[in-house]
Amino acid sequence: MTMGKITKAVIPAAGLGTRFLPATKAMPKEMLPVVDRPAIQYVVEEAVNAGLTDLLMITGRNKRSLEDHFDREPGLERALELKGDQGRLDLVQQASELGPIHYVRQGEPKGLGHAVLCASQHVGNEPFAVLLGDDLIDEAETLLTTMMDVQQKTGGSVIALIEVDPSEISAYGCADITAIEGEDFVRVNNLVEKPAAGEAPSNLAVIGRYVLHPSVFGVLENTEPGRGGEIQLTDALQTMAAGEGEGSGVYGVVFKGRRYDTGDKLSYLKAVITLASERVEFGEELKTWLKAFVG
Ligand code: G1P
């Protein structure tokens, strides 16, 4: 069944950021800069570019700088205006012009599934997108809009998958899929959160973009803590993949485009270097320097 147009994006940003300690002791990991913008800004921009106009961020303790970043900063704006620095003024205003963002606090770190459940009152009975901050999708890609189309077509829920080396699958949710003839999306038969390398049903990894049917909320309410003692979104989606009622059925879009992982220190550094090397202002200079540095 096709429901209304998708307008809502849920952006979980309540994680403790333990993989980045000590940098994240007093600041949220979502604020770590990727070249010159905090990682979270790329994600909000992606949602807005996909036409999502109602943004809800799930935050927690120590996340106030996220709200400040997307708010106006009149003192700073005035100072830049007085200096006649229009370029920097534009950059500062970009973040607050992305649209109103709503915030709700998760309260307790009970997992991604629980974070999504915190959005239920705001989202109500509509399909919605979920964007995780650790994955940056290149702005030239259309992954999210493709996934929204698949949701509208199937009436179920949609996940994004990438092929990974089998040795890496234990860092991700993993999907067992079947191709659908004539379609460029797949049916998801089974999902397992972070399986051991030898036990994974495939090398297809779940990445941080979802378009979900609102029935996920009812399922999450009844999902027991899973891996790591946390309520896992993957486990709720497994229930929905196997279910038959309204809104059940999980589909996958296999993404082959450009994605940058900022989830741990090494992949974050790679993401920063890749994106910096593409900047017109200093990309060429950076690449020349890197070549000389590596020798
Ligand atoms: C979460 C999900 C996992 C998914 C990953 C993508 O894990 O639980 O299924 O593969 O995001 O980034 P996390 O990275 O938050 O541990």
Q: pLDDT tens-digit profile of 224-244?
A: 999 999 999 999 999 999 988
Q: At 280, is the secondary structure helix, strand, or coil?
A: coil
According to the model, what pLDDT value does residue 3 have? Answer: 61
Nearest protein Cα to ligand 1, atom 15 = 112
Q: Is the pLDDT of residue 80 over 90?
A: yes
What's the CA-to-centroid distance between 93 and ligand 1, angstroms? Answer: 31
Provide the b/e sequence for 199-209 (b: ≥16 CB within 10 Å).
ebebbbbbbbb
pLDDT in tens, 178-206: 999 999 999 999 999 999 989 999 999 99
Residue whose structure tokens are 């979920």 = 130
Nearest protein Cα to ligand 1, atom 9 = 173
What's the CA-to-centroid distance between 283 and ligand 1, angstroms? Answer: 31
Of all atoms in ligand 1, which is nearest to the CA of residue 232? Answer: 8
Q: How many CA atoms lie within 13 A of 271 on its CB side?
A: 25
Record the pTM.
0.95
What's the CA-to-centroid distance between 282 and ligand 1, angstroms? Answer: 33
> Where do the domains of the chain lie?
8-260, 264-295
Assess if CATH 3.90.550.10 describes domain 8-260: yes
